Amino acid sequence: MTDIKNSALGADVPEASQATATVIPLAPKVGPSDEAPGIVPGTLARVLAIANQKGGVGKTTTAINLGTALAAIGERVLIVDLDPQGNASTGLGIDRRNRRYSTYDVLIGEAPLRSAILPTAVPRLDIAPSTLDLSGVELEIGQERDRAYRLRNAFAALNTNAAPGNAYTYVLVDCPPSLNLLTVNAMAAANAILVPLQCEFFALEGLSQLLKTVEQVRETLNPELTIHGIVLTMYDARNNLSGQVVADVREFMGRKVYDTIIPRNVRVSEAPSYGKPVLVYDLKCVGSEAYLRLATEVIQREKELRAG
Least distance from C-beta 28 to ligand ATP, angstroms?
A: 28
Q: Please tell me whether residue 136 binds ligand ATP under the rule CB under 6 A.
A: no
Which residues, listed in sequence order, are joined to residue 128 by a DSSP beta bridge? 80
**Cα 203 → chain centroid:** 19
Scan residues 82-101 and list those touching Mg ion (CB under 5 A): 87
DSSP string across the chain? ---GGG-TT-TTSPPGGG--TTSPPP-----TTTTSPP--TTSSPEEEEE--SSTTSSHHHHHHHHHHHHHHTT--EEEEE--TT-HHHHHTT--GGG-SS-HHHHHTTSS-HHHH-EE-SSTTEEEE---GGGGGHHHHHTT-TTGGGHHHHHHHTTTTTPPTT-S-SEEEEE--SS-SHHHHHHHHH-SEEEEEEESSTTTTTTHHHHHHHHHHHHHHT-TT-EEEEEEEEEE-TT-HHHHHHHHHHHHHHGGGEEEEEEEP-HHHHHGGGGT--HHHH-TTSHHHHHHHHHHHHHHHHHHHHHH-
Query: Between 35 and 64, how does the x/- string for binding to ligand ATP read (CB under 6 A)?
Result: --------------------xxxxxxx---
Q: Could you tell me which stretch among 34-42, 52-60, 196-204, 289-297 binds Mg ion (CB under 5 A)?
A: 52-60
Q: Which is nearer to Mg ion, 8 or 127 (CB)?
A: 127
Q: Please tell me whether residue 65 binds ligand ATP under the rule CB under 6 A.
A: no
Q: Which is nearer to ligand ATP, 25 or 287 (CB)?
A: 287
Residue number closest to Mg ion, CB atom: 60
Least distance from C-beta 164 to ligand ATP, angstroms?
A: 34
Residue 253 contacts by C-beta under 8 Å, 6 or more apart in sequence?
A: 207, 230
Q: Could you tell me which stretch among 33-41, 103-111, 199-207, 259-267 binds ligand ATP (CB under 6 A)?
A: 259-267
Q: Which is nearer to Mg ion, 50 or 290 (CB)?
A: 50
Q: Which is nearer to ligand ATP, 114 or 267 (CB)?
A: 267
Q: Which is nearer to ligand ATP, 37 or 275 (CB)?
A: 275
Least distance from C-beta 267 to ligand ATP, angstroms?
A: 8
Q: Which is nearer to ligand ATP, 77 or 234 (CB)?
A: 234
Q: Which of 52, 60, 159, 198 binds Mg ion (CB under 5 A)?
A: 60
Q: What does 229 bind: ligand ATP, Mg ion, none (CB cut-off 5 to 8 Å by kind)?
A: none
3-state secondary structure 238-249: CCHHHHHHHHHH
Q: Could you tell me which stretch among 51-59, 165-173, 247-255, 292-300 binds Mg ion (CB under 5 A)?
A: 51-59
Q: Which residues bind ligand ATP (CB under 6 A)?
A: 55-61, 83, 85, 87, 177, 233-234, 262, 264-265, 268-269, 272, 287
Q: Which residues bind Mg ion (CB under 5 A)?
A: 59-60, 87
